[in-house]
Amino acid sequence: MTPEPSGATSPSRGDWRPATDADWRRLRTLLRDVMLHLQGDAEQLEQAEQDLRAIGGDKWSIGIGRYADRAEMCRVLASWVEDEYRALQEDGGYQRQVALDDRGMFPGTLAP
């Protein structure tokens, strides 16, 4: 954990403020950008796997399977981000595609 600069105080509950429209717009933009980035990463990893197999990658011990695993994880994360993005966009009218766990979090996340 990084120490706070001298003179800085840690935020307390009294410092809390409700999210503004600009906060929500920034969060929606960030979620959209992360979703697009993850989808692009998944496509690039799939292409890398195909390229390696095309040049004889099955004979190499570099673990081509990792590309497919990473592409799948990117797709899972992208679907979670998209779900959250759509839920924010629809003001409660969106039916989630991923069921949240009993904590109200995406399954498998480390958040409390």
Report how far Cα 81 is from the mean position of its chain's Cα atoms: 5
Residue 30: which residues within 8 A CB-CB, separation 6 or more?
A: none
| Res 106: pLDDT | 86
| Res 1: pLDDT | 47
> CB-hemisphere CA count at 13 Å for 67?
16
Q: Note down pLDDT in tens along the chain; length 112 residues.
A: 455 455 555 556 566 778 888 888 888 899 999 999 999 999 999 898 888 878 876 666 566 778 888 999 999 999 999 888 888 876 667 888 888 888 888 888 876 6
| Res 110: pLDDT | 79
For the whole model, what pTM was predicted? 0.68
CA distance to 35, 65, 69, 70, 112, per residue, from 44 (Å): 14, 14, 13, 10, 32
Q: State the DSSP code for 93.
A: -
Which residue type occupies 69?
D
- Structural contact between residues 97 and 76, judged by C-beta atoms closer than 8 angstroms: no
| Res 60: pLDDT | 62
